[in-house]
Amino acid sequence: MVAAAAGVPLLRLRLSAADALTADHILVLRDVAPTVLPSALGAKGADDAVDAFVRWVRDYQEGVPLSHGYGEPRLVRTGPSPAPGYATQVAALQDAARARGGRFSTLPLETRRALLDDAFKAAGVPNLPGRPAGKHVVADLMAHYFGSSSANDLCYNARIGRNTYRAIRITTVRPRPLAG
């Protein structure tokens, strides 16, 4: 999470319309999603993951105190929205894909990988951020999905339901597999 110092003015702002991802941007993200998200999600699951990410971005609020911690606490607020750079990043990815011959999803896997590798390196994205951080929209989409409870379930192929409502008795047995 991008975190600003305590000096940031206390603001609780919804993102302006100009910052929001447009329908065209969302279509590009939906085109990219099947490459960067697990195939087990299927087309609808990948679209849902994009929509969930877009909702996350839309509902982001700036200047809100983060948990101030325990032990060595300090006041930190949420930083600027990660969204302002997204439109440019989406357009750049789209342009790069066109230059290689077409829509992103139609390119060979290694070409797609090279495009994203270049983009992430240029944006300074060494790993998945803990939460979307604004360095690159596709890395943020990936971070948003892979940090989710459902991704954790998919990894372990188990109905764990981390941080969701569950009766305690459910957790006392080995979690059932997802397909079960």
Partner 1 sequence: MAVHDTDICVIGGGITAAMAVEKIATLRPDLRITVVEAGRSIFDRQNRIEYHRRSMAYGEHPWHDDFIEDQQAKGMISMTMAVGGQALHWGGACNRFSQEDLRLKSLYGLADDWPIEWDDLERWYVEAEHRLNVSGEPSPYPEDRRSGPYPQGPTPLSFNLQVLKRWAELSGLKFSPLPMARNLTPFGGRGACGLYDTCGEVCPTGARYSPDYTYQQLIAAKKVTLHDRTLVRKLVLDPTKATIAAAQGAHQDRPGDPIEYRARLFVLASGQCWSPHLLLLSANSRFPNGLANSSGLVGRHMNGHKFISAQALIDDETFPGQNMTHSLISREYFRCATDQAFVRHDTRVWESSAGKEPRLRSAEGKLLLGDELLADWRARALKGSSVRLRTYYDSHPSVDSRLSLDPASKNRYGDPMPMIEHRLDAQAEGREAATLAHCTNVFERMARASNGRLTGQPRVSTYWDHPGGGCRMGASPAAGVVDSFGRTHDHENLFVIGAPTTPTGGCTNGTLTFVALSLRSAAKIAESVRG
Judged by the rule CB under 8 A, the positions of this chain that interact with partner 1 are 1, 34-40, 56, 59-61, 64-68, 70-75, 78, 109, 112-113, 116-117, 120, 125-128, 131, 139, 142, 146-147, 149, 151-152, 154-156, 158, 160-175
Q: Residue type for 157, please? A: N
Q: How far is the CB of 98 from partner 1 (least distance, A)?
A: 20
User: Angle, to 10 degrees, between the axis of helix 137-146 and the axis of helix 42-58?
Assistant: 110
Comparing CB distances to partner 1, the nearer of 23 and 73 is 73
Residue tagged 């999803």 (tokens) = 105
Q: How far is the CB of 64 from partner 1 (least distance, A)?
A: 5
Q: How far is the CB of 157 from partner 1 (least distance, A)?
A: 8
CA distances from 55 to 49, 50, 153, 168 (A): 10, 9, 22, 30
Comparing CB distances to partner 1, the nearer of 70 and 99 is 70
Comparing CB distances to partner 1, the nearer of 91 and 155 is 155
- Residues 26, 100: Cα–Cα separation, whole Å: 21
Q: How far is the CB of 61 from partner 1 (least distance, A)?
A: 7
Comparing CB distances to partner 1, the nearer of 23 and 168 is 168
Residue tagged 């990988």 (tokens) = 113
Q: Which residues of 15-36 are buried (b: 16+ CB within 10 A; e: fewer)?
A: beeebbbeeebbebbbbbbbbb
Q: How far is the CB of 85 from partner 1 (least distance, A)?
A: 18
